Structure 1
Amino acid sequence: MTKLQSFLTYLEFEKKVSSHTLTAYRIDLEQFLSFLQEEDKDVLLENATKAEVRVWIASLMEADLSPRSINRKSTSLKSFYKYLKQCGIIDIDPAKTVHVLKTSKRIPQYVKPQEMDNMLNGEVFDDSFEGIRDKLIFEFLYGTGLRANELLSIQVNDLDFYKNTVKVLGKRDKERIVPLHAVLVQQLKIYLSNRKEHQNPDLFLLQDGATLKYSQLYSIVKHYLELNTTAGKKSPHILRHSFATNILEKGAALNDVKELLGHANLSATQIYTHSSLQRMKKVHAQAHPRAKKKRV
């Protein structure tokens, strides 16, 4: 097993990172290895020097890669070489002194509430098993703010219709209890009544009883968002953004939203305050007695 394979195994089974994070780390490190092997085909990742790391980062900047993307690749290198040093494989960490580039604050995109209401209250979804399931997917993601992987990990036994909650397994296997609103509960019961008896305990299934995969979930969400919304991005994650943004606009406390989303710290939740801040500025400008007065 190569050092890269060993590191990826560590991330998957010890750190419990998501499949998407795992793929990103693998791609970043394989790209760096390809860069190293342009000079020496037999070179190994663990033999990289500080100078080679700096030259690679500089080449990414020259290629006009965004600072955010470069920082992600830097993080992959830092994590890999930190792991090698902890394992006693290397004595000097060649990526330790890599600096984080400044990035502009990214405002998350979200689906407008009216567009979501029109889609979920209209005749977009048919009465077939797939149509009922697809509507439930949207009700669930938009009504709870779950990550796609969290949604797909839900099993029927995780549902509690007495308390109207669902047990969710989040990042690093951290469990949390998420409330379900009345419309979502109703849609869940409709789906379960149309879901044939299967030995598969997972909640979201295909018609034949197989577990719904992420690629299939992504295609479903993208299909309906393209037809029914003006959202720039059309992935399951934009529904998580929509959930957080919309409940903050309705007055939810930031710390409560943090708990609902399963964020480890409040700073991760604060990115969703952008639209509510704009709304508050507008209200302030319209309502404050001195806001409209001209300066003398």
Structure 2
Amino acid sequence: MSVATNAFLDMLAAERGAAANTLAAYRRDLDGAEEAIGDLASVSREDVARLSAVWSGLAPSTVQRKSSALRQFFGFALEENWRMDDPSGALPKPAARRPLPKVLSHDEIERLFSTAEDEAASDRPAAVRMLALLELLYGSGLRATELVSLPLAAVPRDAPFVTVMGKGGQARMVPVSERAREALSRWLKVRQETDSKFLFPSRSKYLSRVRLFQMLKELAVRADISPERISPHVLRHAFATHLLEGGADLRVLQTLLGHADIATTQIYTHVDAARLVALVNARHPLAQTRTSD
């Protein structure tokens, strides 16, 4: 790896606080590009254009990620005088962006919760646990790993928040609804006594992500919803989409989801175009001026 690319990685670690996994991913992408076309601090625009052929067999999402890494490097190199030009315009442009996650309708969410609540009425531990998991997935937008690895100490007592350890070891405060707090309280009453420090323990350590996937799909079948339409990520996306539809600010949503970059939130959320048009017509100052005239 060249001196310039090492300097770029050092900057990511020092100034942006990039996690080890993030740095490793950038290193792999930059290493691969340098193996293909040479030192990124001195390659020409024509060299960069050759990456289209080198990456031709890769998925569009992978090309997009690699191009993003190089684009950031070239911007850094220009600012730090490693280069006198920015050849990023010659980077491959993926044919399509990654598809948005599947979206559950409000009716499907209601059916899912209705089924879970009916089953939890029996106070069977497995059913009560399922309801608590569902409330936290949809009510707080937690990632699957964040949810299953919650420590027992994370259960809110006085404050309606739970501290979650997200990607890159970044902690964030996530609000917990009254419904979710009630479901957690019910779960703690039937949770088997154990020395485990985790909220959702299992024989190995804590409930696995794979088992969470299975439980959700089984619940979907009982709620007359196609199991292919549901996963922890789909519920997280539904949380974001439905909040945005309800008028939540995008920056607030970014914080709730634990996204480091607002661009990730913009890609992740799916908003009805008609609702956006109606919002502009109703809220834009000029629209209000015309109405008052």
Query: What CA deviation, in whole Å up to 9, does each residue of 1:112-148 have, x standing for no partner?
Result: 1221112112356454222221221111110001111
1-structure distance, mates of 2:106, 2:269: 16
Query: What CA deviation, in whole Å up to 9, does each residue of 1:225-283 have, x standing for no partner?
Result: 35533575432111110000001111111111111111112222123553244324368
Match of 1:215 in 2: 210
1:34-73 mapped onto 2 (5 Å cutoff):
48-50=35-37, 58=53, 61=56, 63=57, 65-72=58-65
| 8 Å CA contact 2:51, 2:92 repeated in 1 | no
Match of 2:135 in 1: 139
1-structure distance, mates of 2:279, 2:69: 43
Match of 1:274 in 2: 270
Match of 2:177 in 1: 181
Structure 2 residue identity aligned to 1:258: Q
Partner SS state of residue 122, structure 1? helix
Query: What CA deviation, in whole Å up to 9, does each residue of 1:187-233 have, x standing for no partner?
Result: 00011111122111111123x58411222222222333355335754
Structure 2 residue identity aligned to 1:114: D
Match of 1:256 in 2: 252
Match of 2:261 in 1: 265
| 8 Å CA contact 1:145, 1:239 repeated in 2 | yes
1:196 and 2:192 correspond = yes
| 8 Å CA contact 1:109, 1:232 repeated in 2 | no
- With over 3 angstroms needed to count, the CA separation of the structure-2 counterparts of 1:197 and 1:276, relative to structure 1, is same
- With over 3 angstroms needed to count, the CA separation of the structure-2 counterparts of 1:159 and 1:76, relative to structure 1, is same
Match of 2:10 in 1: none
| 8 Å CA contact 1:198, 1:209 repeated in 2 | no
Query: What CA deviation, in whole Å up to 9, does each residue of 1:65-86 have, x standing for no partner?
Result: 531133346779999xxxxxxx
- With over 3 angstroms needed to count, the CA separation of the structure-2 counterparts of 1:50 and 1:136, relative to structure 1, is same
Match of 1:39 in 2: none
Q: Percent identity?
A: 29
Structure 2 residue identity aligned to 1:50: I
- With over 3 angstroms needed to count, the CA separation of the structure-2 counterparts of 1:231 and 1:211, relative to structure 1, is closer
Structure 1 residue identity aligned to 2:271: S
Q: Which moved more, 1:262-271 or 1:136-145?
A: 262-271
Structure 2, gaps ≥5 residues long:
1-12, 39-47, 73-86, 288-293
1-structure distance, mates of 2:149, 2:71: 30
Instruction: Give the number of equivalent residue pairs.
Output: 242
Structure 1 residue identity aligned to 2:127: G
Q: Which of these residues, 149, 153, 168, is aligned with residue 153 of structure 1? A: 149
Structure 1, gaps ≥5 residues long:
1-10, 33-44, 80-95, 291-296
Partner SS state of residue 271, structure 2? helix
Query: What CA deviation, in whole Å up to 9, does each residue of 1:27-82 have, x standing for no partner?
Result: xx7xx9xxxxxxxxxxxx8994438x998963652x4x531133346779999xxx
1-structure distance, mates of 2:186, 2:264: 35
User: CA offset at residue 171 of structure 1?
Assistant: 1.5
1-structure distance, mates of 2:191, 2:234: 27
1-structure distance, mates of 2:155, 2:52: 47
Structure 2 residue identity aligned to 1:101: K
Q: Which of these residues, 117, 122, 139, is aligned with residue 115 of structure 2? A: 122
| 8 Å CA contact 1:143, 1:180 repeated in 2 | yes
2-structure distance, mates of 1:277, 1:77: 32
Structure 1 residue identity aligned to 2:186: I
Structure 1 residue identity aligned to 2:206: T
Q: Provide TM-score, normalisation by structure 1.
A: 0.65
| 8 Å CA contact 1:110, 1:231 repeated in 2 | no
More helix by share: 2
User: CA offset at residue 16 of structure 1?
Assistant: 4.5
